[in-house]
Every structure is written in C-alpha cells, then in structure tokens.
C-alpha cells in the first residue's frame, strides 16, 4: 500500500485527489489530511478514510474537529497550527505528498516533503514560483521526486520521453503553454473595472478554487505557469510561448528540433494529471472519459492579448529577471487578489498593484529561504499600501 498525505484536502484539487484514490483502495491509503478551517468537510473525510493525522491551521476549527471525531469514535489524531502542516507533510508512511494548499502558505510543508525525499505532487505552483531554485535543490539533494499536477506542466512532462531531467539532451526546441483565456477572453477592457468576484470565479472550462480562478481571469495564472515551466524543465523563459486555446482540450505541447510537436489532449478534468502523477510511470483509471474526437469539433489557437491582460507581460518580465522578482510578483498578486475578492480593489487595478510593487523591489538572485521569506513579507507590505492607495474606484 502506498501512503498518501494530502495538504489542502478540502479544496478543489484535494477533493479530486480523494476521488481518484477512492477508485484504488487496494493501492493507496490516506495517512494525513490538512485544511485551513473547513472542519466539517475534513470531519467527513476523516470518518470515511480514517487517516492517522488531520491538521487544521485554525486552532478553533481544530478543537471542533477533535471533539466531533471523539464523538464519532474515530481515532485520527488532530493537530493545530501552521507548524503542524509540516508534520502532516513528513508523516511516517506518507510516500506521496499532494501539495494542494493555495498560495505561499504551502511553501514550508511542500519544502519539508521535498527535503524528506518523498514523491511530491505539485499543484501549489506558488510554492515553486516564490522559492525558485530552492525547492528544486531540495528535491535534488534528497532524491525526492517532483511531479507536476498543473495540467499544462503535467502535459509537458508527458510529452518529454525522458521526463523533466532529460530535457536538454532530448532536443527540445520549445514549449507551447496553452491557456483557456479565462472568463474575460472576449470582454472589452473598458468594463474590467466593474468585474465582480462572482464573474471572475465563473471559469468557462475548469471548476477551481477562488484564488486560481481570479488568476485565470487576469492571465496571471499563465504567468505563474510560465515561471513554473521555466524552473521545472530547465528551459530559458524565451523558450516557453503562451498560446490561447479556448477549448482546453490540448493541455500543452513540446516542440523538438526535428520539427516534431507533441501534444497531450484530454477532457479538462484535474483527475487526469492527478492520476498520472500518483501512479507514474504506470497508468491508473481516473474517472475521466477518453476524448471522443468525432464529437469534439474544431480546436482553436490564438495569440494572447497582452494589452488587455498586462499581468501576463508582468510575469514574463519577472520570469526573465530569474530571481526574487517572481517572489515579489507572487506575493503582490496574492494580496491584490484577496483585496479584489474582499471587494476592496477593482479587478482592473490588480496589474497596477503588482507592477508598482515590482518596481519598488528590484530583483536579486535567489539565495536562501530566509531571503525568500523576507522578500515575500516586504512585497506583501508594499502591496497592502498600494491596495489602500488604489482601492475601489467609484
């Protein structure tokens, strides 16, 4: 039995992971589950799966969970606080760790799982983007495995016969990173100021958590993914090209020097990359139907509009800087997106907040964790100031 720890089990990726695991009870057992504060959902998961550990970073929610589990005679140990997320990440018997916490909060547990030499399934792209080479170095030093869950990166991984490490030797010329374009692909920029959180979170192809949904609407998600691809596959940032593909059927492509281009296709459902990374190099059933080409119709591709979606351009500049600019970009974006979701910032002001913070904190090479955490903190502080300055336009 392969032991699995799921960081962020109550979220969109966490629940899709549990759906795949439930199809293979003879192969996987759940060792640890974590969430921020959704204790009722975590309670239901604990009753069904009986993990050894359950963590809630919110102490009050953890107390409620512990009481409810006792009443249900479930012996799962409940831990509270941020530090306990790391305990779950390196729990004994957790061979595989699904890193599916959203945002910078996932960095330390993900890094710990990598240092402990586990198979890390990386959904939490922010952890990699903000820490740059640090996570990759931890993986290399411990002999851990880092497998991408992001559908695009999982697709690229599948199109690289030698896996990520062999990329240079295998004659790769470049990568096409596909993007659906999000809910506002055809919406005029003049109306971006009045975008509501509900509109931004209504993605046409994917059902996801709120933060990544907003990122998809600004195209900053594709920018984070550009940096993620550059780091994971060891390619220069100019070898990764973003292409809009509204149908979200082709999940990304790899071009080779001989003129070949390989693509991975599938219905837009995260259970496919999750099952792929869980079982790699084997294949297991995920619950996702194979494509029916006869009913699929046409697939379209077009260039992204960087004038209407300046976040993509900002991320490209940060990717090119190849240092703490990515940490700053990520932190400023997290603050801006939260302010937008809380209705304290207009949607069209998100790029301006990020751009201002980037201009105030020049990029330096990534050195160590202490530096990354202090840059992250400073970028959050400056972004908070920008949010107050820019606020809501009447």
Binding site for Mg ion (CB under 5 A): 150-152
Mutual orientation of helices 325-341 and 310-321 as an angle, nearest 10°? 150
Choose from Mg ion, ligand NAD, none: what does 5 bind? Cβ within 5-8 Å by kind.
none
Under the binding rule (CB under 6 A), the answer on residue 8 touching ligand NAD is yes
Choose from ligand NAD, Mg ion, none: what does 36 bind? Cβ within 5-8 Å by kind.
ligand NAD
3-state helix, strand, coil in the chain (%, to 5): 50, 15, 35
- Judged by CB under 6 A, the stretch of 9-17, 87-95, 283-291, 356-364 that binds ligand NAD is 9-17
User: Partners of 29 in the beta sheet?
Assistant: 3
Residue closer to ligand NAD by CB (options 98, 357) is: 98
Choose from ligand NAD, Mg ion, none: what does 101 bind? Cβ within 5-8 Å by kind.
ligand NAD
Binding mask 27-66 for ligand NAD (x = CB under 6 A): --------xx-x------------------x---------
Under the binding rule (CB under 6 A), the answer on residue 125 touching ligand NAD is yes
Under the binding rule (CB under 6 A), the answer on residue 209 touching ligand NAD is yes
Rounded to 5°, angle at Cα 317 from 148 and 98: 15
CB 3 within 8 A of CB 66: no
Rounded to 5°, angle at Cα 209 from 206 and 215: 80
Q: To the nearest whole angstrom, how small is the minimum distance from the Cβ of residue 268 to Mg ion? A: 10
Choose from ligand NAD, Mg ion, none: what does 338 bind? Cβ within 5-8 Å by kind.
none
Residue closer to Mg ion by CB (options 61, 155) is: 155
Helices (H), the chain: 12-22, 39-49, 59-71, 83-89, 107-115, 125-131, 133-142, 151-159, 197-200, 210-218, 220-233, 271-279, 293-296, 310-321, 325-341, 350-360, 369-390
User: Partners of 104 in the beta sheet?
Assistant: none
Structure tokens at 186: 């055809």
Under the binding rule (CB under 6 A), the answer on residue 5 touching ligand NAD is no
Q: To the nearest whole angstrom, how small is the minimum distance from the Cβ of residue 166 to Mg ion? A: 23
Pairing of β 53-56 and β 2-7: unpaired
Q: To the nearest whole angstrom, how small is the minimum distance from the Cβ of residue 282 to ligand NAD? A: 22
Under the binding rule (CB under 6 A), the answer on residue 97 touching ligand NAD is no
Q: To the nearest whole angstrom, how small is the minimum distance from the Cβ of residue 152 to Mg ion? A: 5
Please state, in angstroms and rounded to a whole number, the distance separating the CA atoms of residues 208 and 217: 12
Under the binding rule (CB under 6 A), the answer on residue 206 touching ligand NAD is yes
User: Partners of 37 in the beta sheet?
Assistant: none
- Judged by CB under 6 A, the stretch of 100-108, 164-172, 178-186, 233-241 that binds ligand NAD is 100-108
CB 180 within 8 A of CB 203: yes
Under the binding rule (CB under 6 A), the answer on residue 17 touching ligand NAD is no
According to CB under 6 A, which one of 3, 4, 14, 148 is a site residue for ligand NAD? 14
Residue closer to ligand NAD by CB (options 173, 265) is: 265
CB 387 within 8 A of CB 333: no
CB 5 within 8 A of CB 49: no
Structure tokens at 233: 């596959």
Where b means 16+ CB within 10 Å and e means fewer, 91-127 reads beebebbbbbbbbbbbbbbbbbbbbbbbbbbbbbbbb
Under the binding rule (CB under 6 A), the answer on residue 180 touching ligand NAD is no
The 3-state DSSP class for residue 352 equals: helix
According to CB under 6 A, which one of 3, 4, 13, 250 is a site residue for ligand NAD? 13
Q: To the nearest whole angstrom, how small is the minimum distance from the Cβ of residue 223 to ligand NAD? A: 12
Under the binding rule (CB under 6 A), the answer on residue 358 touching ligand NAD is no
Q: To the nearest whole angstrom, how small is the minimum distance from the Cβ of residue 232 to Mg ion? A: 12
List of residues contacting ligand NAD (CB under 6 A): 8-14, 35-36, 38, 57, 85, 100-102, 105, 123-126, 150, 206, 208-209, 212, 270
């Amino acid at each position: 039995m392969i032991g699995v720890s799921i960081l962020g089990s109550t979220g969109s990726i966490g629940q899709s992971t549990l759906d795949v695991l439930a199809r293979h009870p003879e192969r996987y057992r759940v060792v640890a589950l974590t969430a921020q504060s959704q204790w009722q959902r975590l309670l239901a998961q604990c009753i069904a799966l009986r993990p050894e550990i359950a963590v809630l970073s919110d102490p009050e929610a953890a107390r409620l969970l512990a009481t409810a589990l006792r009443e249900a005679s479930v012996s799962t140990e409940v831990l509270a606080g941020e530090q306990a997320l790391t305990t779950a990440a390196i729990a004994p018997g957790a061979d595989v760790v699904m890193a599916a916490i959203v945002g910078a909060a996932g960095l330390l547990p993900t890094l710990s799982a990598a240092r402990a030499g586990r198979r890390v399934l990386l959904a939490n792209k922010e952890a990699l983007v903000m820490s740059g080479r640090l996570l990759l170095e931890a993986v290399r030093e411990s002999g851990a495995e880092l497998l991408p869950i992001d559908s695009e990166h999982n697709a690229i991984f599948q199109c690289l016969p030698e896996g990520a490490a062999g990329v240079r030797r295998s004659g790769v010329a470049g990568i096409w990173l596909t993007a659906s374009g999000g809910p506002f692909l055809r919406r005029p920029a003049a109306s971006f100021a009045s975008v509501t959180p509900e509109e931004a979170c209504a993605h046409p192809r994917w059902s996801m958590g709120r933060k990544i949904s907003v990122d998809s609407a600004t195209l900053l998600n594709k920018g984070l993914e550009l940096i993620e691809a550059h780091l994971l596959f060891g390619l220069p940032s100019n070898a990764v090209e973003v292409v809009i593909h509204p149908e979200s059927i082709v999940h990304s492509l790899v071009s080779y020097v001989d003129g070949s281009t390989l693509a991975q296709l599938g219905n837009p459902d995260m259970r496919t990359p999750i099952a792929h990374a869980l079982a790699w190099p084997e294949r297991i059933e995920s619950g996702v139907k194979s494509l029916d080409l006869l009913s699929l119709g046409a697939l379209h591709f077009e260039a992204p509009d960087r004038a209407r979606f300046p976040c993509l351009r900002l991320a490209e500049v940060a990717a090119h800087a190849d240092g703490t600019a990515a940490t700053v970009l990520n932190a400023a974006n997290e603050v801006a997106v939260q302010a937008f979701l809380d209705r304290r910032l207009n949607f069209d002001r998100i790029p301006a907040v990020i751009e201002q913070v980037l201009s105030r904190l020049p990029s330096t090479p990534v050195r160590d964790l202490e530096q990354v955490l202090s840059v992250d903190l400073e970028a959050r502080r400056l972004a908070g100031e920008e949010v107050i300055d820019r606020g809501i336009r009447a």
